[in-house]
A and B are shown apart, each in its own frame.
Chain A
Amino acid sequence: MKDKLDALLREGTARIEAAQSEAELQEVKGELLGKQGSITELLKEIPKLDISLRPEMGKAVNNVKVLLTEQIEGRREALKLKASEISPDFDCTVPGFEPKIGGLHPITQMCYDLNDAFRSMGFEIFSGPEITSEYYAFDNLNFPPNHPARESMDTYWLEGHDSGEANDKLCLRPHLTGDSVRYMLTHKPPYRFVYPGRVYRNETTDARHERAFFQYEALIVDKDFTYTAGKVMIKSILSKVFGPDVPVRMRAGFFPFVEPGFEIDMGCLVCGGKGCSVCKHVGWIEIMPGGTPHPNVLRAAGLDPDEYTGFYVNIGLDRLVMMRYGVDDVRLFHSTDLRFLKQFH
């Protein structure tokens, strides 16, 4: 009987320790200490023993009973602290619920990133009408009278408004620069503003050419502003969008609105300037034209170009967004395809 009792204690202790929930523990308790429990059964056998053995065995069984009871209570407290009613089979690898969320067009996102960057430098945001007269599209912007862009090849003229004087001819704006004149005519210098928006060109489309695209222009006009300060501005903006250490260079370029004009290149982010297929192995990517506003543009805005000068950049947002995400077909931006648009969170 002594052996039986020892075995019972060992077994009981093990089962108590193994119990993983209060319910399980309760079950073990019943089996050990309940009315038909193993201990109770043993106690029942004591009267059958030789009388001399009874006190000792009775004491021993009771000791075990107290011991097990203590263990059970101890285990119960431990389980309470640990208390998880959840099955250990619970699968934590099941995916979470996707937050249901819409999104802004990737070009809008880029535009807002730039707005934030320019706002932080004290620029206002301006937008003008998309239908403009030839006067604001070309004449007052220093497009020479024989500039190819004036021919209907490149501009969407409106039916019934495609002949006559420059003020009568109307088109979908082929660029934004006319808006800068509109702004300057209605505000007082010095100027510091951006004017993002859609522009339209009558072109054949392919993966790199679109008829409708989104541009972003910025203009500073002040007294004695040097183009080298423009470089600081560009670097600040690009580092806001692409990270702090973007190398920037300015090289010779020609645009009718500016003199001198620059092509502004950014160090290729894909190869870090070593040369790769993205940057045509030169380590630089042409990112925007810019320069000092042409005196004729300033004159159109009623300013004396000997007194005022400034800096101008024109950022093609489509291209910039393509670079940001590796988009390889510009036409996707106007595709309205939600499978495409939903990728830009």
Chain B
Amino acid sequence: MKLSLNWIKDYVKLPDDMDLSRLAYDLTMSTVEVEGVENLAERFDKIIVGEIKEVLPHPNADKLRVCRVDIGAGEIKDIVCGGSNLEAGMKVVVARPGAMVRWHGEGEPVEIKNAKLRGVESFGMICASVEVGLADLFPAAEEHEIMDVTSLGIAAGTPVAEALELDDILLEIDNKSMTNRPDLWGHYGIARELAALYDLELVEFDKYTPDVTDTVDVRIADTERCPRYIGAKIEGLCVKPSPFKMQSRIWRVGMRPINALVDITNYVMLATGQPTHVFDSNHIIDHIEVRRANDGEKLQLLNDKELALSTDDLVIADAEGAVALAGVMGGAKDSVLPETESVILEVANFESRGVRRTALRYDNRTESSSRYEKAVDPERCDQGLSLAMKLFAELYPEMKVTAFNDQYVNKLERKEIDVEFDWLDRRLGKRIPQEIVAKKLGTMGYDVTFTDVGMHIVVPTWRSTGDVSIKADIMEEVARMYGYENFEATTITTSFDGAINQLEVDLVRKIKEYLAFRCNMQEIFTYPWMTEEFVTALMPDTNGILALATPPAPTEKYIRCSLLPNICKAIVKNERNFDEFDIFEEAQVFLDSDYTNEYKGEKLPAQKKHLGCAFVGSSDNIQELFRRAKGVIGSMPRFTHMEGFTFEKNEKPYWADETVWLNIMLNGKKIGDLALLSKKSALACGIKVLSAILVELDMDALAPFKSRTNRFVHTPEFPINEYDISFLVDSAVKWDEIYACVMNKKNELIRDLLFVDEYKGKQIPAGKKSITLRLLIGSDEKTLTGAEIEAVANSALKKLNKNIGADIRTV
């Protein structure tokens, strides 16, 4: 919202030497965020009024003229101009060299310089209204028309800013910072804040008292939605432009002047925050009724939108039908028309939520609806009416109010709050003198009476529509007006009753840091909604998957029951740029099942913390990819200090390859999967070249150790010898069998057995594979001799040969 400082000064007398940046800062600190302060006159620097003395033909161009222009103090300059309406005696706007103008009203402002135009020296430029940003105030009839200010009777040489009373400061307020303050949506509201801030006097509006016995027939059918409606019939009017000063003010704060009747209503709204409307009274048949619309009832708005209304919409209607959408916009047929001579002025109050619903329903938010939806108080109608009547009288001295009706059926109760001084002092951390508290509150409209222990406060109506209702609100009023910066920071005291010890929280972090920093994986974030093609690619069906009622896109309605669909989407995205990458995500997943009463009164679906990983690489060496993944997941418990899990083959995940898959088991329960993404699923996802081992794990099932459990082992006193053995074995024999064969009832000198390599290839007979393993052989008592080591290895080999048919190769 834009505010004019001159306009604010109508209501509060600010000191002449007011420091503007200080004012903006104080308003920001105490009330609303001032986003910008603009000195309007600066836009018109070096732009002045000139008088054309003579219009001469241009020697080299048919469409251009050379004007001899008086630019003040009798100084005459030649200015080349292509305007279509140039005449001697005309007062025009001259941009002197150094002024900033917008060529034809477009693009960024450019600086005017002395220039030769088709061989003739030109001093600056004679401007069209659009070029100095005044098109709304001085609309041009056609493109080449220059701005004519002759009728304003201003002397040549006068700066335009002064001549047009544009010597003003504009404050840009962040609308978001005052959504809770319906009272601030007009100049008067901000003036009231400034008065309280600087202890200044606030100008009061006179109360309008109607001097007429006839009534406008106003019937309010829905008093919830319309607590108050004032209708005043005013005659003796006509459609004409409003005075320049009014137009200029309306324009300055960002609206367009239309005509005097419309401008009055806008001016009142901008001044008081109270929207008003005028109907052509000749078009209002019989009476005004404020009622819900009939289903499908038609209404054409002022902006020509044709609406078919719903029964939730509130309308202003006459005997024949709807004439306006209450609080949002007037109807095209019955508002101000070119021939309007008498009007019914509407100053009314509408309930906020209904106005908002209607404005959103038709995507038709207006200055009016955005004010009503903040909850304007019904008493504000009095200010709006008072100012409107004053303006009608000023602009139309012959006007007459011939009928009047004020239906205030749903009176607003002012809130009452008791505040104990003791409480206030404790919460503020500082004692503010009671008379300062009472004075600040008084200027803001609160009625304060002292009690034995504190204050009894009656909240002004304009703060009683939900904004101020409890004593914490009063504390805020006091603190902000006293100045937040005037409170010294106080120390935080604490009582220590033990260190924070949150094992589950720490485990999640340990796991993520393990994956990122020990295992070179990159954490990703994805959205909770899944794209349908990935769901279809990875899941047998969509049973048990929760969906959004209003999804971000029609294909993204399912929310995640697994992290894998979005991880696959991330694979597709990164496959373009990388040949090999490992990624993980930790997030909540949701299931349409196991609804439990989580907290008081609430029934929530199952929600679990999951870990999802993808190990992505070349399809040429699946075993390597598989071992990479299995190594990371298998070592995780050891590095992150939690109960170990095991890999078993119990239940193949739907998306997994027929062969390469494992379940992750903890205490006999499946807590996750590790598997190669099947070719079919990969293709359905659009993963073109690379292969991926996916892992998904239920993190809630993991059990952190209470402290570290691994024990120190002495370093061996005698050498441990490595002994590698290669042999051929049936291709179907698994490493687990080989390991068990050697390690069950093993020779005590065998310390460990390691997998080194598996090979299938040309030299290996069909149906066989070559395995290389490494025995670690050593004694606690002595250094073993070569023969002793050999003997241990041979016994292992014999077992392998006997039990699993290992064919020992001599390499």
Contacts and interface: CB of A to CB of B under 8 A. Distances in A.
A100 B480 contact: no
Nearest to A300: B600
A177 B426 CA distance: 25
A124 interface: yes
B604 A104 contact: no
Contacts of B31: 252
A295 interface: yes
Interface size class of chain A, counting residues whose CB lies under 8 Å from the partner chain: 35 or more
Which of A108, A112, A159 has the most chain B CB atoms closer than 10 A to its own CB?
A159
B489 A124 contact: no
Interface string A296-337: 000000000110010000000000000000000000011111
A233 B490 CA distance: 10
B577 interface: yes
A277 interface: no
Interface in B475-533: 475-476, 479-480, 484-485, 487-492, 494, 496, 500, 502, 505, 509, 512-513, 515-517, 519-528
B177 A157 contact: no
B180 A254 contact: yes
A277 B550 CA distance: 37
B423 to A, nearest CB: 7
A102 B600 contact: no
A184 to B, nearest CB: 10
A144 B470 CA distance: 14
A259 to B, nearest CB: 4
Contact of B356 (A146, A159, A220): A146
B557 interface: yes
A229 B487 CA distance: 10
Interface stretch (B146-154, B436-444, B580-588): B580-588
B557 A159 contact: yes
B599 A249 contact: no
A158 B546 contact: yes
B599 A152 contact: no
A259 B520 contact: no
Contacts of B369: none
Given A158-B546, A337-B573, A125 B502 contact: yes
A227 B492 CA distance: 10
A341 interface: yes
Contact of A224 (B426, B527, B549): B426
A202 B428 contact: no
Contacts of A215: none
Contacts of A138: none
Nearest to B572: A336
B179 interface: yes
A292 B473 CA distance: 11
B524 A339 contact: no
A262 to B, nearest CB: 7
Given A105-B525, A129-B588, A156-B548, A292 B472 contact: yes
A226 B489 CA distance: 9
A311 to B, nearest CB: 9
A336 B29 contact: no
A130 B529 CA distance: 13
A94 interface: no
Given A108-B512, A152-B549, A153-B360, A229 B491 contact: yes
B387 interface: no
- Most chain A beta-carbon contacts within 10 A, residue among B519, B522, B587: B522
A170 interface: yes
A115 B509 CA distance: 11
Contacts of B547: 158-160
A341 B524 contact: yes
B601 to A, nearest CB: 5
B193 to A, nearest CB: 10
Nearest to B548: A156
Interface in B564-614: 566, 569-570, 573-574, 577-578, 581-583, 587-588, 590, 598-605, 607
A167 B528 contact: no
What secondary structure prevails in chain A residues at the interface with B? mixed
Interface residues of B, number: 94
Interface in B292-335: none
Interface in A261-315: 261-263, 280, 286, 292, 294-295, 305-306, 309
Contacts, number: 232
B29 A104 contact: no
Nearest to B471: A295
A136 B603 CA distance: 11
A119 B136 CA distance: 59
A130 B588 contact: yes
Interface centre among A144, A202, A260 (most CB of B within 10 A): A260
A65 interface: no
A122 B500 contact: yes
Interface string A151-177: 111001111111000011010100000
Given A170-B605, A338-B574, A105 B505 contact: no
B35 interface: yes
B89 interface: no
B181 interface: yes
A102 B548 contact: no
A104 B583 CA distance: 10
Nearest to B35: A280
A133 B600 CA distance: 11
Contacts of B521: 102
Contact of A254 (B30, B36, B181, B525): B181
Nearest to A158: B546
A225 B426 CA distance: 8
A101 interface: yes
Contacts of A148: 356, 373
B92 interface: no
A135 B602 contact: yes
A105 B524 contact: yes
In order of increasing CB-CB distance, the 9 nearest A-B pairs are A260-B476, A226-B429, A146-B353, A336-B570, A259-B472, A254-B180, A102-B521, A159-B547, A251-B29
29 contacts: A102-B515, A102-B520, A104-B512, A105-B523, A108-B523, A129-B588, A129-B598, A131-B607, A133-B604, A146-B353, A151-B356, A151-B360, A152-B550, A156-B551, A157-B550, A160-B547, A161-B549, A167-B603, A198-B528, A212-B525, A214-B525, A251-B484, A254-B180, A259-B475, A262-B484, A263-B33, A292-B472, A336-B569, A336-B570
Given A102-B521, A226-B490, A336-B583, 9 more contacts: A102-B515, A115-B509, A124-B502, A159-B546, A162-B549, A170-B605, A232-B491, A280-B36, A334-B525
Interface of B: 28-33, 35-36, 177-181, 352-353, 356-357, 360, 373, 375, 423, 426-430, 466, 470, 472-473, 475-476, 479-480, 484-485, 487-492, 494, 496, 500, 502, 505, 509, 512-513, 515-517, 519-528, 546-552, 557, 559, 566, 569-570, 573-574, 577-578, 581-583, 587-588, 590, 598-605, 607
